[in-house]
A and B are shown apart, each in its own frame.
Chain A
């Protein structure tokens, strides 16, 4: 059974960089059939797509965040990562990593989510 697990600091200071890692177990990231992505959800609000990566070189970003976001993957470790720079309180959210089918880009497996709070 595929599992995804987010890890990283739960508290980040304003203007600093948020860094999260998603570890994939029970399956390989090198399958050609999937994208791997990040989605976030501010407390009490809806879902916002951040970025997708295919293998380690094909990357897609939400234009609203693109200037501050980097997604990367280390397929040898079965991990992918998110970096979000110059964070503010508006970046406080639960961050989810997830897998989507390459053809039907719906997210079928999700991590449990990690709450990241931006505060001094």
Chain B
């Protein structure tokens, strides 16, 4: 199985801050990576796929980059509605695996 390790596990930031979350795969995944946002009591919401492609309707302040084993999610200017938990997911090979999550909290 491909292990996905996110860092940090939690993060405190303020509205307007630029935030970066990292996801590292245990082997190369050829940009077969998605990012999700999850709010309490809700299903995850797809933000980006193929490492850097923005899902329709997702604000452009969200961006993704990376290749090989290392990937990042960047929020350019945090908005109040962005405080949530973020997960990466690899779909390069089965079993599909998720990172453990990064909880983004208000400072």
- Counting chain B CB atoms within 10 Å of each CB, which of A52, A100, A105, A108 scores highest? A105
How large, as a class, is the contact surface on chain A? 20 to 34
A46 touches B46 (CB 8 A): no
Nearest-Cβ distance from residue B66 to partner chain A, whole angstroms: 15
- Tell me how many residues of B have a C-beta within 8 Å of chain A: 24
Say whether chain B's binding surface is mostly helix, strand, loop, or mixed. loop
Q: Complex: how many Å from CA A101 to CA B53?
A: 13
Q: Which residues of A contact B (CB under 8 A)?
A: 46-49, 52, 60-64, 96, 98, 100-101, 104-108, 110-113
Give chain B interface residues in 60-107, CB to chain A under 8 Å.
87, 89, 91, 94-101
Contact across chains for A108 and B55 when beta carbons are under 8 A apart: yes
Establish whether residues B89 and A106, one from each chain, have CB atoms under 8 Å apart when the complex forms: yes
Confirm or deny: B16 has a beta carbon within 8 angstroms of a beta carbon on chain A: no
Q: Are B44 and A110 neighbours in the complex by a CB distance under 8 Å? A: yes
Interface centre among B1, B96, B98 (most CB of A within 10 A): B96
> When chains A and B are docked, how far (Å) is the Cα of A105 from the Cα of B49?
8
Are B95 and A63 interface neighbours, CB within 8 A?
A: yes
Which A residues are CB-close (under 8 A) to B49? 101, 104, 106, 108
Q: Would you call B44 and A64 a contact (CB within 8 A)?
A: no
In the bound assembly, the distance between CA atoms of A60 and B94 in angstroms comes to 8
Residues from chain A with a CB closer than 8 A to the CB of B19 are: none
Q: Which residue of A lies closest to B31 (CB)?
A: A104
Q: Are A49 and B98 in touch, CB under 8 angstroms?
A: yes
Report B13-49 CB contacts with A as 1/0, cut-off 8 Å: 0000000000000000000101010000011111001
Question: Across the interface, which residues of B come within 8 angstroms of A64, CB to CB?
Answer: 95
Residue of A nearest to B95 (CB): A62
